[in-house]
Structures are given as structure tokens and as C-alpha cells.
């Protein structure tokens, strides 16, 4: 892909009969960047980072989630990125250097003072070598940001919440973990008497789960919720059902909300000079009211 892209750009630069001077200038600038050591270094670094996070990203985008597997995958991804940060510099530099030699791209002297090929050199540049720039400012900084992103999105509280939740779909239900989950994260959704009764209800439910194939076959929280409805056990184990529904709101309250806010941010950035906040708020309220009205109309038709 790299060689083909380089040939295409070179063809645009040389073929003045079918291109404008502006297009030739853009192609020439892109060709210079493509032929730089910094571009090749960032390209290989992106490949390594995306390769180590691709499995996690694909797993988290799946609708049916195995919480315990997701937790283990997040932890494994963190370990992989941290290990590459501590031990991957030499292999990355060797790979980039070999690639540059093969494509006749000039490689800098890593012990020489760093000077940017795109900007005028500053006085502080003489105190920074090329190795420091590429290793610290690019390599280490990029991996630190990736680890920080994972740690912020999957902090200790979120990981503990997911770990406690996974006990409901494990082979043997850990009653203490579920009760701790309710006491710690959902104290306002259960009265003191309901918390006491929940422990006994979980004990009976764990016994029946081992004997009921539909209940024991549930590998995710959503499947457990469906099996409670299909087996008509939802009313019997109403406290367990409530815990399941509270856990199911996690993806809605986290992922869906973030996607909605991101979409709104894009919309406002694109039309920020034409659309005011008040208009956006009113439009959003009207849209929600219309959605609710359509839902009730459809339900009335079905009835």
C-alpha cells in the first residue's frame, strides 16, 4: 500500500496535463510527508497500538456481552500495552529503520539534536535528541494516553461493578457478591427489608438455577433476563429480576448516552453559527415527545 500510494502521488506531480497547479502542490506536499522518517514511525506505531486494541474494540461493540470475558479482555489489553511500552521501543525502531532503508527514506541520527523538518528550529531543540523526541514525545506519550483512556473508562469502581454483576451468570451464584453489589451501588433501589430478603431469595434462586436448563443456560445478563420471563420466574424472584434490570441499564446509561452526546456535539459544531442552544433544546424536546407519541400510537394499534 505504501509503495502504491507513493507511485500515485508521484504520477499526479509529474502529470501536469491532467492536474492543476494546486493539485500538484498538494500531492507534492503529501509525497514529502510520506517520504519522511516521522511519518513512517507514526504509521508503524499506530499499527502496533491498533493491533493491540482491536480485539477489545470488536468485543465491546458486540450487543450480547459476557461481562466476565470483557473484564478479562480489558485487563489483558492494559497488560499488553504496558508491556509494549516498557519493552517495545527497540523492536519498533528496528522495524521502522528497516522499512526506511528498503524504501530509500533518510533516517536521522538518533543521538543528534532534534530539529523539526517542518518548523524552524527553536533554542530548546538543542537540548532534545532525536531519540528523546521519538521515544518520549511520541512512543511513550502515545501509549500513556491509550492506557489513561482505558483506566478512565474502566476504572476500579466500574471494574468492580462489572465483576460483581458477572456473578449472576456464573455457574454458582455468589450471594455475598450480589448483596454487596446492591448495598454499594443501588442502596436507594432497595429497602432494608428487601436487602435482607434478597439474600434468601438468591439462595433459593441459585438452587433452582442448577436444575432449570433455561436458567442455567444463560451466559449473559440479557439472556438471564429473557429466561426469567420465559420460565415465568420473574414474579417469583422479583428482587433478583430487579437487580438484573438495574444491571442492564448500565450499557444504556454509559454507551448510548455518550454516543448521543457525541452526535449532538458534531451537530452543534457544524451549525454552531446558525443554531442557538435554546433552539436545539426545544427541538430535542419536541423530537422526544413525537417519539413517545408514536410509541403509544403503535401500542394502541396493536392492542
Query: What's the count of helices (H) and strands (E) in the chain, helices before strands?
Result: 15, 0
pLDDT of residue 168: 79
pLDDT of residue 135: 93
Predicted structure pTM score: 0.57
pLDDT of residue 169: 76
Q: How many CA within 13 A on the CB side of residue 224? A: 28
pLDDT of residue 177: 86
CA gap 294, 288 in Å, rounded = 10
Pick the closest to residue 110 from 86, 138, 85, 83 (CA basis): 138
Per the DSSP assignment, residues forming a β-bridge with 129 are 113
Full 3-state SS string of 192-256 = HHHHHHHHHHHHHHHHHHHHCHHHHCCCCHHHHHHHHHHCCCCCCCHHHHHHHHHHHHHHHHHHH
pLDDT of residue 261: 47
* pLDDT tens sequence for the chain (303 residues): 666 666 666 666 666 666 666 766 676 677 677 788 988 899 899 999 999 998 888 877 776 556 667 777 888 899 999 999 999 999 999 999 999 898 888 899 999 888 776 555 555 555 688 999 999 999 999 999 999 888 877 767 777 777 777 777 777 888 888 888 888 888 888 998 999 999 999 989 888 888 888 888 777 777 888 888 888 888 898 998 898 888 877 654 444 444 444 544 544 454 444 444 454 445 555 555 565 566 555 544 444
Check if the beta carbon of residue 109 is closer than 8 Å to that of residue 134: no
C-alpha grid cell, residue 245? 434490570
Amino acid at each position: 500500500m505504501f509503495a502504491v500510494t507513493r507511485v500515485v502521488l508521484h504520477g499526479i506531480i509529474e502529470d501536469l496535463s491532467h492536474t492543476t497547479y494546486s493539485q500538484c502542490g498538494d500531492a507534492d506536499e503529501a509525497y514529502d510527508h510520506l517520504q519522511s522518517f516521522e511519518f513512517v514511525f507514526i504509521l508503524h506505531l499506530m499499527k502496533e497500538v491498533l493491533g493491540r486494541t482491536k480485539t477489545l474494540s470488536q468485543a465491546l461493540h458486540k450487543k450480547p456481552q459476557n461481562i466476565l470475558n470483557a473484564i478479562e479482555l480489558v485487563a489483558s489489553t492494559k497488560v499488553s500495552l504496558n508491556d509494549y511500552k516498557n519493552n517495545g521501543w527497540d523492536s519498533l525502531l528496528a522495524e521502522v529503520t528497516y522499512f526506511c532503508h528498503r524504501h530509500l527514506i533518510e533516517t536521522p541520527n538518533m543521538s543528534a539534536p532534534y530539529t523539526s523538518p517542518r518548523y524552524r528550529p527553536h533554542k530548546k531543540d538543542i537540548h532534545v535528541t532525536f531519540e528523546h523526541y521519538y521515544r518520549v514525545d511520541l512512543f511513550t506519550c502515545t501509549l500513556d494516553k491509550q492506557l489513561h483512556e482505558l483506566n478512565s473508562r474502566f476504572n476500579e469502581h466500574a471494574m468492580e461493578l462489572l465483576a460483581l454483576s458477572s456473578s449472576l451468570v456464573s455457574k454458582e451464584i455468589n450471594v455475598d457478591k450480589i448483596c454487596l453489589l446492591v448495598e454499594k451501588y443501588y442502596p436507594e433501589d432497595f429497602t432494608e427489608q428487601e436487602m435482607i430478603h434478597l439474600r434468601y431469595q438468591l439462595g433459593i434462586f441459585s438452587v433452582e438455577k442448577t436444575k432449570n436448563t433455561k436458567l442455567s443456560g444463560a451466559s449473559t445478563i440479557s439472556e438471564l433476563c429473557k429466561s426469567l420471563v420465559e420460565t415465568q420466574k420473574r414474579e417469583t424472584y422479583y428482587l433478583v429480576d430487579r437487580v438484573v434490570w438495574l444491571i442492564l441499564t448500565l450499557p444504556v446509561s454509559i454507551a448510548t448516552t455518550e454516543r448521543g452526546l457525541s452526535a449532538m456535539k458534531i451537530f452543534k459544531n457544524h451549525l454552531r453559527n446558525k443554531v442557538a442552544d435554546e433552539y436545539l433544546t426545544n427541538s430535542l424536546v419536541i423530537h422526544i415527545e413525537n417519539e413517545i407519541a408514536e410509541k403509544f400510537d403503535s401500542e394502541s394499534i396493536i392492542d
